[in-house]
Amino acid sequence: LMRIDNLYIFKPSDEALVENINLADITSAELAIKDINNINYYYIKIEDLLNNEFYISSLKLVPSANTFSLLWNLDGILYDPEDNKPIPIEITKVGGDSLAFYLTGDNKIEDSLFNKPLKIKILFDDMDIDITGNIVKSHNFGPYKYYNLHYTNIPDQKRDSIYRQLFRKQIELRKSVAQLR
């Protein structure tokens, strides 16, 4: 993504993915940008599509959920809904109503499973928490595929346990920062 005058130009790394896109068929668009530890989403307005390059006139940050969350590298387990086989995942962000994770290697989640209930075990240092949720977004970044999962039917007790873990981690982080000063 680069800015030239009053437009942003986005050239996908895999041009084959955009060769057959017709600008008239696009009703809305969103752009995901990954930094070191986070993925930010933007609503974009596409002005033109020339030579497999998108000309974007506006970027507007998609507000994140209104609940507390932390960037946190945790192990987790996704249970395959077909055979309950455990699939290791790397959790990158945990919140009170959602989490973000990625899969490596040949592991993948079929698009047909989006918006269907999935079971995940979050492996905190001192406890494990089983949650259910639906995948609402996914993005490829290099060799990894990132997913956003929103919890469904999570009992208050489990949500409270997640918040306790988040607050404990936040206190640890603050103590670490204070020691560096």
Find the range with the poorest average confidence among 21-30, 62-71, 73-82, 158-167: 62-71
Asked if residue 36 has pLDDT above 70, the reply is no
| CATH number of the domain residue 87 falls in | 2.40.10.220
pLDDT tens per residue across span 46-89: 998 888 888 989 888 776 655 577 788 999 999 988 889 999 99
pTM of the model: 0.68
* Segments forming the whole domain that contains residue 47: 2-61
Number of domains in the chain: 2
Query: What does DSSP assign to residue 63?
Result: P
Going along 35-127, which residue ranges are E strands? 39-50, 53-61, 69-79, 86-95, 98-103, 118-123
Q: Are residues 51 and 133 in the same domain?
A: no
Q: Are residues 172 and 96 in the same domain?
A: yes
Instruction: Determine the 3-state secondary structure of 171 from DSSP.
Output: helix
Q: Are residues 83 and 118 in the same domain?
A: yes
Q: Are residues 25 and 95 in the same domain?
A: no
Which tokens hold the place of 87? 């699939």
CB atoms within 10 A of CB 149: 24
